[in-house]
Structure 1
Amino acid sequence: MTAPTTDRARGAAPTGPVVLTIDDVSVDYLVDEPVHAVRNVSLELARGEVLGLAGESGCGKSTLAYAVTRLLKPPALVTGGRIEFHSREGYAVDLTAIRGEDLRQFRWDKVAMVFQGAMNSLNPVINVQAQLEDVFSTHRPEMKKAERRRRAGELLERVGVDRARLKAFPHELSGGMRQRVMIAMALALEPQVLIMDEPTTALDVVVQREILDEITRLRDELGFAVVFITHDLPLLLEISDRIAVMKEGRIVELADARTLYTRPQHEYTRTLLSSFPSLTGERGAFVRTGVDTTVPGPAAGRSTEEPDQGPDHDPDEHEEADA
């Protein structure tokens, strides 16, 4: 028997026109003992919105993203529900029904995805220019070679990479540059929805910040909506308009970022919020710029200033002492 959707799982409605509707979607892995990876998930994504999808590894976040983009492979199967894309041109596309060449043309043009692990997503034996131009060759066959080359250079510069890197191979780029190339490739056709699956995993915190700032700037510039998937809830609190918390294949809480941070309703959300170590010494009281710490909640009663650790402070020593 399916558990009824609670009010907190329905959450705050999106503001503005809806670009993507996920209605009661379920995904199973049909192995010897079937795994119910996504269970009756319903979400709406507004045009230009950043919707965060948080939860621990294995909760169904990436499976849901692959269901939206129709990239699931056997034994995974969408067993129920409806996914609908609402184009700015005024028509709707049922993503559970689209097939063949129509599906091939739809992907990357209307909904694009930045996959987890840029090194695994880029072809290691083809340079950046060829991989960017391939998007245009496939989806814009009428585009001339000189135009494809010019657009590829513009895409790199748009994400903060010098166009001189067009001739580089993936192994010649840093992790941050590879991730920027993946974002450039996803934005090549100016899609209306961008799904980002753990795009900052394995990057250091400085590069993470640069990538997040880049995503925010591009969203403001191009107006696409973002589904940002990660287990890193503090990161989502920084960049998301609304956040959906996922547990065991279900959405257990959905709210705007500020409400979820200051007044979490579900016990699992509170557990996630308290699981991140603090920069100020109080576990769970991580710093989020702009949050009013007088509001009751996880942030109440703490200072937002970091103590001066001194030039000889070694964070590894502190971790060993805690252990």
Structure 2
Amino acid sequence: MTATTITARTPRSDGHPSDAVLTVDDLTVVYDGEQPLTAVKNASLTLHRGEVFGLAGESGCGKTTLAYAVNRLHRPPARIATGSITFHDRSGTDIDVLGLDEARLRAFRWSKLSMVFQGAMNALNPVTSVRAQLRDTLMAHRPGMTRAEIRARSEEVLTRVGVDPARLSSYPHELSGGMRQRVMIAMAMLLEPQVMIMDEPTTALDVVVQREILREIVRLRDELNFAVVFITHDLPLLLEISDRIAVMLRGEIVELATADQLRAGAQHPYTRKLLHSFPSLSGERGAFIRTGVDETASDIEEWA
């Protein structure tokens, strides 16, 4: 449970709500086996440039599978059975993500669309310094950069996320959990992508660090105008930081609305249960039991 509260962001003066950066249409992801499992079913969504798009749902509902599919990071036995993923580049070019070959996919990832993985300690190489990991990313995508330019860019991104550039020489185990997460965010923004997918970026962090990380994400989005897909099971948190929110249940997007619309009145019963699954800090003691987790567990079977 999180107690983080973020001040509602002001509307962007330079944003264009109709300016799509990513379109996912009728996407279905299947895990093959003796009994094939459909992990994502007919998912469709449009991500607009500069917005924070929340993806909510309980563990196992398909949030991360959807994110991996969008980034083409899924591995067998997972496969994309149907659908399309189109990236709308700032240059005006539309990129068929599912049609990219290995070389073009390598160039696409991190430069156009990046991802902050859940569990920063596992995502960072434990035997390589922060400097080396940032350097390797830059050398792979921008081989013409000089050593001085690489160092300057590495220092710049660390500074942006609130990490002392002196930490370039540190190894992951020498950093706190919050600092490791900030380093992952710095790596994700290293090549100035237009979309950043964040999978549970504040999991296992204390509420004070959570608040700092969330403020950094919103601030960086405002400064650099990239779109954010923020994945979490914590719907109340998404209501504070997101422009629009998609709620997933057993692989399907069952509700897609703005944060204000969900606050005013969620349409799907599962969304309403998620909204009431966190106890109020005020009011009668029995309210949570009557409207919260006890009912959710039984109703999920009925809705599925």
How does the TM-score come out when normalised to structure 2?
A: 0.88
What are the superposed Cα offsets for residues 57-113 of structure 1, whole Å, 9 maximum, x if unpaired? 000000000000000000000000000000011000011111111000000000000
Counterpart of 2:30 (choices 13, 28, 31) is 28
2:81 corresponds to which letter in structure 1? Answer: T
What are the superposed Cα offsets for residues 193-246 of structure 1, whole Å, 9 maximum, x if unpaired? 000000000000000000000000000000000110000001101100000000
Structure 1 residue 30 displacement after superposition: 0.2
Secondary structure in 1 matching 2:248:
strand
In structure 2, C-alpha distance between the alignment counterparts of 1:152 and 1:63, rounded to whole Å: 30
1:160 corresponds to which letter in structure 2? Answer: G
Name structure 2 gaps, 5 residues minimum: 1-15, 292-304
Structure 1 residue 280 displacement after superposition: 2.2
In structure 2, C-alpha distance between the alignment counterparts of 1:150 and 1:111, rounded to whole Å: 22
**Would the alpha carbon gap of residues 24 and 154 (structure 1) be closer, same or farther in structure 2, given more than 3 Å must change?**
same
In structure 1, C-alpha distance between the alignment counterparts of 2:19 and 2:285, rounded to whole Å: 39
Structure 1 residue 169 displacement after superposition: 0.4
How does the TM-score come out when normalised to structure 1?
A: 0.83
Q: Over aligned residue pairs, what C-alpha RMSD do you find?
A: 1.6
Counterpart of 2:170 (choices 168, 178, 181) is 168
Which residue is equivalent to 2:129? 127
Secondary structure in 2 matching 1:142:
coil
In structure 1, C-alpha distance between the alignment counterparts of 2:185 and 2:115, rounded to whole Å: 8
Conserved? CA contact 1:276–1:284, under 8 Å: no
Q: How many residues align?
A: 274
Structure 1 residue 284 displacement after superposition: 11
Structure 1 residue 278 displacement after superposition: 1.9
**Would the alpha carbon gap of residues 283 and 101 (structure 1) be closer, same or farther in structure 2, given more than 3 Å must change?**
farther
Pairwise mapping of residues 22-101 of structure 1 onto structure 2 (< 5 A)?
Answer: 22-101=24-103
What are the superposed Cα offsets for residues 233-271 of structure 1, whole Å, 9 maximum, x if unpaired? 011011000000000100100110011122100000001
In structure 1, C-alpha distance between the alignment counterparts of 2:263 and 2:217, rounded to whole Å: 22
Secondary structure in 2 matching 1:279:
coil
Secondary structure in 2 matching 1:212:
helix
Structure 1 residue 16 displacement after superposition: 2.5
Which residue is equivalent to 1:307? none
Structure 1 residue 134 displacement after superposition: 1.0
Conserved? CA contact 1:246–1:253, under 8 Å: yes
Counterpart of 2:271 (choices 266, 269, 272) is 269
1:52 corresponds to which letter in structure 2? Answer: G
Secondary structure in 1 matching 2:82:
strand
Higher relative contact order structure (alpha carbons within 8 Å, sequence separation ≥ 6): 2
Pairwise mapping of residues 194-205 of structure 1 onto structure 2 (< 5 A)?
Answer: 194-205=196-207
**Would the alpha carbon gap of residues 212 and 282 (structure 1) be closer, same or farther in structure 2, given more than 3 Å must change?**
farther
Secondary structure in 1 matching 2:74:
coil
Secondary structure in 2 matching 1:280:
coil
Pairwise mapping of residues 137-156 of structure 1 onto structure 2 (< 5 A)?
Answer: 137-156=139-158
Structure 1 residue 285 displacement after superposition: 9.4
Which residue is equivalent to 1:178? 180
Secondary structure in 1 matching 2:98:
coil
Structure 1 residue 184 displacement after superposition: 0.1
1:246 corresponds to which letter in structure 2? Answer: M
Deviation above 6 Å: which 4+ runs of structure 1? Answer: 283-286
Pairwise mapping of residues 101-112 of structure 1 onto structure 2 (< 5 A)?
Answer: 101-112=103-114
Which residue is equivalent to 1:255? 257
1:23 corresponds to which letter in structure 2? Answer: D
Secondary structure in 2 matching 1:37:
strand
In structure 1, C-alpha distance between the alignment counterparts of 2:34 and 2:283, rounded to whole Å: 47
**Would the alpha carbon gap of residues 139 and 108 (structure 1) be closer, same or farther in structure 2, given more than 3 Å must change?**
same
What are the superposed Cα offsets for residues 163-183 of structure 1, whole Å, 9 maximum, x if unpaired? 111111000000000000000
Percent identity of equivalent pairs: 67
Conserved? CA contact 1:275–1:284, under 8 Å: no
Which of 1 and 2 has greater Rg?
1
**Would the alpha carbon gap of residues 24 and 221 (structure 1) be closer, same or farther in structure 2, given more than 3 Å must change?**
same
Secondary structure in 2 matching 1:254:
strand
1:25 corresponds to which letter in structure 2? Answer: L
Which residue is equivalent to 2:4? none
Conserved? CA contact 1:277–1:283, under 8 Å: no
Structure 1 residue 283 displacement after superposition: 7.6
In structure 2, C-alpha distance between the alignment counterparts of 1:32 and 1:194, rounded to whole Å: 35
